[in-house]
Structure 1
Amino acid sequence: MDALKGPASMLYGQNPPGGLVNIITKHPTRLKQGEIDVAYGSDDYRHFGIDTSGPVNDEGNVLYRFVGFAKKDNGPVDDASSERYYFAPSMSIDFNDKTSLTLLTSYMKDNTNPTSGFKLPYGTLHSTPFGKVDKDTSFGEPGYSTGDSEQFNISYELSHMFNDTWTFKQNGSYSYLNLLLRNVYGSYMLDDRNVQRGLTYRDGSAQNYAIDNRLVGNWTSDRFENTLLLGTDYSTINSRGTDGNIYSFGSPLDVFNPVYGNYTPATDDELFGHHTKRFQTGLYVQNQLKFDDKWLLLLGGRYDKARSSDIISNAGANSNTVDSRIDMDDHKYTKSAGLMYLSDNGLNPYISYSESFQPLSGRDGRNKPYEPQTGQQTEIGVKYVPAGFNGYFNAAAFEMYQKNILTTSNDPTINYAQVQTGMARSRGLELEAVGYVTDSLQLHANYTLNRVETIRSGDSDEIGNRLPLTPLHMASLWANYSFNGKLEGLTIGSGVRYIGSTYGDKTNDKDLKVPAYTLWDAMVRYDINKEWQVQVNASNLTDTNYVSGCNYWCYYGEGRNVTAKVNYHW
């Protein structure tokens, strides 16, 4: 799994301006291999996993892989629990030296009791006559809350090489999700002890079809290496179900001495049916040029067209009566560019620009459809790989603009629904250093300065203020030491994470300022031999009690978590 920072619409279509997580599916391997791991940890965490792969036939042109795991645990909040089962068989076939096909499938089932960790500033960030609310206390309803889902995916990756220059690649997928979610949370304090609760209810399914076609051309000359990418993609999402947003659910709860069970389940007249469809088509082109082994230039452009409809029926999910329908038609050109100089001394400066485009489903608290989110990011930096040093250094300064971002409203007249703030700007600096100080000692250090502030809004009090949940400073330092001699195979690691202060609302009210916190993590690993490995990981080793952030709600951070794992490889 890779984290791609910044706008990434050029190759990946509709995506948020802050970046995306690229989930890399495990593919079959030509080398026969496998792994089994078992783990046990805090909150009664239990895990069993298996991963096996290799050739099916003697010729080695048919490969397989099977990945599976099961886990159960009790969450950090009272009465919370979860279990997950995942299976992912896959197969690759090389028809000849020019054409190959990979088939990928996966199935995942989750059964959870999501007793809400959403809390209010009262009793978490702020003191009370009765002390602080225990971080394990749930404002939910253990006997009613549930979060069950099933996901199925089948996809393929086809590659055909026409000649030494041109290759065609096609990826297609179908996925299905079935979800039942009943999440009870705290809405607002009624008095010094009792909280009024609300309910988020979702019961429905979604189907997604997607296909991506790419034509890749590579050619070289004495001074040039060029890669041209031409592509088009299409996707459709169809979701249907029954929803509910009930802002007064059950009897008030004493947050210092909660008694559960005083509620009436949601009824049909409190729910509404929804049916959402979205169709997206994209065309894109990208060219990468390497000149004299010194200059690397990247240019790209993309056009997206998205159509969607959002239908709501207050008579239930299966009703043919349409009470409200909104149709949206969005389109956008996005661009990307980058230039890097590859010097002989390992000092590689670069500059890049990228844009993003993401249409949003749903409506705000005033029943107005959300506008698409867009983003633009400019970054200038340098990557340094010193000669003779096993490591690297990165430094980058960036500026990103995000338009139509979603934030939680403080307006009770629209039930604190999510609304779109006009525009936010993110300016900052990222520093990273990774390397071996000695043959045994490796260090990894990071620092980020990032000021995310509202620069355009209908509320003038918000302009110039930092957005909720966005720290100005973040830093981390991690060290690994691998022993030699009699203790060879033993590795210990430890590090600290610093998260700076944040604010709990868009006006930067000092009463809603969340203090900075520092956490200490550690690990120890012992490689018994080439096949067996034992490892223990610990996060928040000192069990620091802290509020990790606030928007309208506040969230306690995870306490001490220790997990021991045994791996067997072959």
Structure 2
Amino acid sequence: MTSRLLTLSLCAGMLAVPAYAQDADKRLVSPAEENAAELEVVVYGRLSSERAVKVPQSVEVISNKALQDSRSETVGDAIRLVPGASRDGSVFDVFGDSYLVRGFPANQTVNGMTSNALRQARDTVSIERVEVLKGPASVLYGQLQPGAVINVVTKQPRREFASELTVEGARFNDWRATADVTGPLTAGGALRFRVTGAVDSADSQIDFWHRNHFVIAPTVVADLGDRTTLAVEALFMRNELDGFLNGLPAEGTVLANPNGRLSPSLGLTDPTFDPSIRENTEVTVRLEHRFNETLRARLGASWTHELTDEDGVFGLLGWDNPYRTLTRAVLSSRSKGDAVTAYGDIAAQFQTGSVRHELMFGADHTAFDRDNLSEVGLAPSLDLYAPQYEFNQKPDTFPLPDFGSRSAERNRDTGVFVQDRLVLTDTLRLVGGVRWSQFRQETSTVQGTGGIVEDSQDQTAWTSQLGVLYSPSDRVNLFANRTTSFLPVSGITAEGLSLDPETGVQYEIGTRTSFYGNRVVLTGALFHLKRGDVAVSDRDNPSALISIGEQVSEGVEISVSATPVTGLRLYGGYALVDAKTTEDTNDALVGKRMRNVPRHSLVLRGSYQFQSNAARGLTLGAIGTYTGERAGDLEDSFELPDYWRVDLNADYPLTETVSVGASIENALDQRYYTHAYSLFEVWPGAPRTWKVNIRARF
């Protein structure tokens, strides 16, 4: 600890050297967020951007400033800033950014293109902003979940040299360092680069829990003439986790237990279990060409490689001695997979009579192969109120051969789409699109009993998009849309069979209205969203899937952002979501609330940057999020309590290039639970946590 403090002090001393000659324009992060009404997003056009206020579908943008103010280290951390959205995961498993938006899962895209899933949380160090397009978006992006498209816009190289270094320390021996360096490789910047990266090491309040994290993301962009640009982006990320927490029993956390409340430091894993590891390598190549001012095209390809080596311990199999001693299961998983995507799109602007068009046509193809070996066993039961762990050697486990499997999965996805954005008059716009998709899947499974099950499916589907935007004035925009989705299920049943694809459809009406020269922007929407052929984890065999029926989510969302005076930024958002199961293979579940979806959620954000005197440049901020009561499992058999989380932050520039910051997360030290899957899988939230950092820009 002493050596780390010394290192931090030395870094601070070196970085704090005044550099007043530095041009403020070279800073990598703008000191203020952009105006909410003027933000442009690519998530709705893939190849071309559109002002958020002119998109006939609910969209929210989390700027880089908001990412920094909220101290969001992953995309999942940032999603809590969006009303009606939540992370369906935990900082204590960290391997996946799973989200729920309007009650349903959401998918991630990168720079307006379909992204192969990383199966671990994407670090924000390389992210410029996050765009959340609510509802299905399969026309442009193919086979996705219906909740939303969460588009990550990565930081791009600049033509002038600039750099940013940050060192951060936090409670629980949490240390993180980030770097962001960009500049020209040739005179004038026709060839330029950017490299971002982060490394951190952290403990937590959970016994024997420790994380090592590393990510690096280099990008090179070349101008091949005045009209052609070639971009090559790469990413390598590795997470190593000791003490993987797969949740705790409901009895003792959110439900009463005759033995009392479980300790907030309780972990189920002995420190002698091997750490769980996930690695991802991602390479993307994009070639963009502008034929003229009205015609442009893009070709691209991406490759993603995943590698997992995990030993997870969980109590899903139930009590050994009810409400005190928990049976522990061990899931060992070794997998590797590769996904290759090729895509092309072309966009043309033209006019037919008085109607202006922006027509986009494109196609994409993805080949995905994964091999997985899973073994399930039993570890010695654990007394949760007087736990005895093995500190010298890994405890003996007892295999359960009926549950393990070796599987191979081969998926091939092909799509062709067209979208037209029409400006009929100065006040009326239409958007229409359609996609044809084909999905082919082959699976081969060797079950623990030695039996081999092979299965294949070949599915095709049409998805559509229709939106209308009516703007009776420059400040008032009314919209309505109908969008659909199609999602093949990547996984198999316990019998080794594939499942029918999931489908989704959304109806939405809403408004965006601005006041006082866009200083205040009000957004509201009503929505009805249906998801069919829902696939979930099989409770009798957690490594397999089952299809349960149909779910419906409907509700209202309201948000307002304001900049009433220079330096003051305010945001408030509220979502009412009524999400229920409407069809199920189990009639008793019809009408039950959907898991982990609060009926009420609220987001409040505010920051003020002092403009004069000795406090000039000091920024104070606060974030408050309210999450209402939620069903803890598919059966709605228990409830997660509501909670407030309040975060405070402050930043102050010591010089033109060096600043310091501090934050307190969960300032009220609420004992809360982020999500749950079953009576034995309830995830605790982190307690009050302080962070301090020093940042230098050159």
* TM bracket (short chain): over 0.9
2:396 maps to amino acid: T
SS of equivalent residue, structure 2 residue 196: strand
Give matches, 1:108-507, under 5 Å: 108-187=237-316, 188-191=318-321, 192-220=323-351, 223-246=354-377, 249-261=378-390, 263-265=395-397, 271-314=404-447, 323-365=452-494, 367-408=496-537, 412=540, 414=541, 418-486=545-613, 487-507=615-635
Residue 33 (structure 1) aligned with residue 168 (structure 2): no
Distance (whole Å) between structure 1 residues aligned to residue 171 and residue 565 of structure 2: 34
SS of equivalent residue, structure 1 residue 439: coil
1:502 maps to amino acid: R
Report deviation, 1:562: 1.9
1:87 maps to amino acid: I
Deviations 1:447-480 (A, max 9, x none): 0000110111122221112112111000122221
State which drifts further: 302-311 or 53-62.
Answer: 53-62
Match of 2:12 in 1: none
Q: 1:219 to 1:527 in 2, by over 3 A?
A: farther
1:225 maps to amino acid: R
Match of 1:531 among 657, 666, 682: 657
State which drifts further: 215-224 or 189-198.
Answer: 215-224
Report deviation, 1:101: 0.7
| Counterpart contact for 1:92–1:101, Cα < 8 Å | yes
| Counterpart contact for 2:454–2:497, Cα < 8 Å | no
Q: 1:550 to 1:163 in 2, by over 3 A?
A: closer
| Counterpart contact for 1:17–1:373, Cα < 8 Å | no
| Counterpart contact for 2:246–2:312, Cα < 8 Å | no
Report deviation, 1:417: 5.8
Distance (whole Å) between structure 2 residues aligned to residue 181 and residue 452 of structure 1: 34
Report deviation, 1:222: 8.2
Which structure 2 residue ranges, 5 or more long, are not aligned? 1-129
Deviations 1:274-330 (A, max 9, x none): 1111001000000011233322211010011010111112479xxxx9711111212
Q: 1:549 to 1:106 in 2, by over 3 A?
A: closer
SS of equivalent residue, structure 2 residue 380: coil
1:465 maps to amino acid: K
Report deviation, 1:371: 2.1
SS of equivalent residue, structure 1 residue 190: strand
| Counterpart contact for 2:491–2:544, Cα < 8 Å | no
Deviations 1:60-83 (A, max 9, x none): 211111112211111342111111
Match of 2:236 among 107, 119, 127: 107
Distance (whole Å) between structure 2 residues aligned to residue 28 and residue 294 of structure 1: 37
Q: 1:440 to 1:65 in 2, by over 3 A?
A: closer
Match of 1:567 in 2: 695
1:426 maps to amino acid: S
Match of 1:522 among 640, 644, 648: 648
Distance (whole Å) between structure 2 residues aligned to residue 162 and residue 418 of structure 1: 48
Residue 92 (structure 1) aligned with residue 224 (structure 2): no
Give the % identical residues: 22
State which drifts further: 94-103 or 475-484.
Answer: 475-484
2:569 maps to amino acid: Q
Distance (whole Å) between structure 2 residues aligned to residue 106 and residue 162 of structure 1: 30
Report deviation, 1:266: 6.9
| Counterpart contact for 1:91–1:104, Cα < 8 Å | yes
State which drifts further: 159-168 or 197-206.
Answer: 159-168
RMSD, matched Cα: 2.2
2:444 maps to amino acid: I
- Return the structure number with greater relative CO, CA threshold 8 A, min gap 6: 2
Q: 1:315 to 1:513 in 2, by over 3 A?
A: closer
| Counterpart contact for 2:243–2:267, Cα < 8 Å | no
SS of equivalent residue, structure 2 residue 250: coil
| Counterpart contact for 1:115–1:142, Cα < 8 Å | no
Report deviation, 1:420: 2.5
Distance (whole Å) between structure 2 residues aligned to residue 105 and residue 474 of structure 1: 37
| Counterpart contact for 1:378–1:400, Cα < 8 Å | yes
| Counterpart contact for 1:28–1:64, Cα < 8 Å | yes
Match of 1:546 among 656, 672, 689: 672
SS of equivalent residue, structure 1 residue 250: strand
Report deviation, 1:129: 2.5
Distance (whole Å) between structure 2 residues aligned to residue 144 and residue 90 of structure 1: 37
Q: 1:45 to 1:32 in 2, by over 3 A?
A: same
| Counterpart contact for 1:145–1:183, Cα < 8 Å | no
1:263 maps to amino acid: P
1:88 maps to amino acid: A
SS of equivalent residue, structure 2 residue 154: coil
2:547 maps to amino acid: Q
2:437 maps to amino acid: D
Distance (whole Å) between structure 2 residues aligned to residue 288 and residue 434 of structure 1: 27
Match of 2:138 in 1: 9
TM-score computed with the length of structure 2 as normaliser: 0.77
1:398 maps to amino acid: F
Distance (whole Å) between structure 2 residues aligned to residue 167 and residue 417 of structure 1: 44
Match of 1:19 among 123, 136, 148: 148
Match of 2:85 in 1: none
| Counterpart contact for 1:66–1:89, Cα < 8 Å | yes
Distance (whole Å) between structure 2 residues aligned to residue 440 and residue 170 of structure 1: 42
State which drifts further: 555-564 or 379-388.
Answer: 555-564
Match of 2:67 in 1: none
Report deviation, 1:219: 2.2
| Counterpart contact for 1:539–1:561, Cα < 8 Å | yes
State which drifts further: 153-162 or 205-214.
Answer: 153-162
Distance (whole Å) between structure 2 residues aligned to residue 20 and residue 291 of structure 1: 27
Deviations 1:66-124 (A, max 9, x none): 11221111134211111111122221111111222111122222211143241111111
| Counterpart contact for 2:520–2:564, Cα < 8 Å | no
User: When the two structures are aligned, how many residues end up with a matched partner?
Assistant: 560
Distance (whole Å) between structure 1 residues aligned to residue 536 and residue 173 of structure 2: 35
Which structure 1 residue ranges, 5 or more long, are not aligned? none
| Counterpart contact for 1:408–1:551, Cα < 8 Å | no
